[in-house]
């Protein structure tokens, strides 16, 4: 029989309701026992979906509960550092929603607290378990494209208006799409290629009346490799999500992983056939020369499954696996965000120290 790890979730807004609760409750061995939420509309949904979980109004009721082993933080970005710190000081393992923190200095502090406490600290970079991400990594690792010389990734949306009371669109630390969508793209690049030598950033507000970043282009410079990461809120006709160029061929991928829309619709991996399977219409295309053969056509997408993140966290807590999303990697992502913002302000390429 598997050991049960009891979980307390702080925040049942978009992150908690869509990405955390429905996935972690589908992982054998994890049990959601408490949810901290104060907004009535969110409490009503939580009570309906998780009747066995207790709804509390104060995070301290989770930190002080000796039965809870793991705390998941799905709150606005400015609260990530203080809540994670309090959870670690209370002796809990911690998962923080991305982005990890507002500054790399805050991230370093949390890393030290986790080491001192001997607790697992991870960041919810769930997009590593996208079908897109898994497929691109598999193609690169296969060697089919030869030496990779250029890599481009997009995370685009179209919303030419502002959502009411949306903190991500306010002029506050950690708001804007570079911290939000950009954190996924930077994590992806770091996972595949490691840390770059230099960063060039172009960070903008494109929508009239906007208060925070809604468009970015971040170029990561490696030895003999250029990585371009782009995101915008005014992209009505999406281009490729991934474009990979090698000295033998090209791989191009359109479309987004299907899991987010399924989760927003209230579906979960346990009640959905073919969870995470992409339709053939958005499979990637390859055109390359490999071992004397000309290869062209579609590459079937890997199956996406966000449960992989929490399955790894569960096993890492039990000491059965190494942690896949380490706090050091997440700290590096925040550092690259900082350098991209610096580069944009100073209008120059900056060196990664």
Given pLDDT bands bounded at 50, 70 and 90, which one contains residue 225?
very high
pLDDT of residue 165: 78
Predicted pLDDT at 163: 85
Residue 320 located in a structural domain: no
Answer whether residue 100 is part of any domain.
yes
Which parts of 234-350 fold into alpha helices (H)?
259-264, 307-317, 327-346
Separation between Cα atoms, residue 331 and residue 198, nearest integer Å: 17
* Phi, psi for residue 256 in degrees, rounded to 5: -110, 155
Q: By residue range, what is the domain housing residue 11? A: 5-124
Query: Are 58 and 83 in the same domain?
Result: yes
- Amino acid 167: pLDDT: 81
Q: Are residues 106 and 236 in the same domain?
A: no
DSSP 134-147: HHHHHHHHHTTT-S
Query: Both 137 and 251 in a single domain?
Result: yes
Residue 331 lies in a domain: no
248-258 confidence digits (pLDDT tens):
999 999 999 99
Indicate if 146 and 239 belong to the same structural domain.
Answer: yes
22, pLDDT greater than 90: yes
Residues 276 and 254 in one domain: yes
pLDDT at 309: 98
Q: Are residues 117 and 161 in the same domain?
A: no
Token pair 């959870």: residue: 87
Q: Does 106 map to a domain?
A: yes
- Are residue 266 and residue 217 in the same domain, yes or no? yes
119 and 47 in a single domain? The answer is: yes
**Domain match, 197 and 292 both:** yes
Tokens linked to 291: 């071992």
Kindly report the pTM of this predicted structure.
0.95
pLDDT single digits (tens) 283-303: 999 999 999 999 999 999 999
264 within a domain of the structure (yes/no): yes
Per-residue pLDDT tens over the stretch 124-145: 999 999 999 999 999 999 999 9
Domain count, the chain: 2
CB-based contacts of 74: which residues, under 8 Å, 6+ apart?
A: 9, 10, 11, 12, 13, 15, 16, 19, 20, 97
* C-alpha 5 chain-centroid distance: 23
């Amino acid at each position: 029989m598997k050991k049960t790890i009891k979980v307390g979730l702080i925040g049942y807004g978009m992150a908690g309701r869509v990405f955390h609760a429905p996935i972690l409750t589908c992982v054998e061995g994890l049990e959601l026992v408490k949810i901290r939420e104060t907004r009535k509309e969110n409490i009503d949904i939580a009570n309906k979906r998780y009747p066995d979980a207790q709804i509390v109004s104060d995070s301290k009721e989770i930190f002080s509960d000796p039965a809870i082993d793991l705390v998941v933080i799905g709150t606005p970005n400015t609260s990530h550092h203080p809540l994670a710190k309090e959870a670690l000081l209370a002796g809990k393992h911690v998962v923080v929603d991305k982005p990890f923190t507002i500054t790399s200095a805050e991230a370093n502090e949390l890393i030290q607290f986790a080491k001192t406490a001997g607790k697992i600290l991870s960041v919810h970079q769930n997009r590593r378990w996208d079908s897109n991400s898994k497929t691109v990594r598999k193609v690169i690792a296969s060697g089919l494209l030869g030496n990779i010389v250029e890599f481009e990734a997009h995370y685009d949306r179209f919303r030419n208006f502002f959502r009411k009371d949306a903190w991500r669109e306010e002029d506050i630390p950690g708001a804007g799409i570079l911290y939000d969508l950009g954190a996924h793209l930077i994590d992806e690049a770091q996972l595949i290629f490691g840390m770059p030598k230099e960063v060039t950033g172009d960070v903008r507000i494109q929508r009239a009346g906007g208060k925070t970043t809604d468009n970015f282009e971040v170029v990561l410079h490696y030895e003999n490799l250029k990585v371009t990461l782009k995101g915008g809120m005014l992209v009505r006709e999406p281009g490729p999500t991934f474009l990979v160029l090698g000295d033998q061929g090209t791989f191009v991928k359109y479309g987004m992983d299907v899991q987010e829309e399924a989760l927003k619709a209230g579906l979960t991996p346990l009640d959905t056939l073919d969870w995470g399977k992409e339709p053939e219409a958005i499979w990637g295309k390859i055109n390359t020369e490999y071992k004397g053969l000309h290869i062209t056509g579609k590459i079937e997408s890997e199956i996406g499954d966000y449960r992989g993140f929490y399955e790894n966290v569960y096993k890492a807590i039990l000491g059965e696996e190494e942690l896949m999303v380490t706090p050091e990697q997440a700290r590096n992502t925040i550092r690259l965000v900082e350098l991209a913002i610096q580069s944009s302000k100073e209008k120059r390429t900056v060196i990664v120290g």
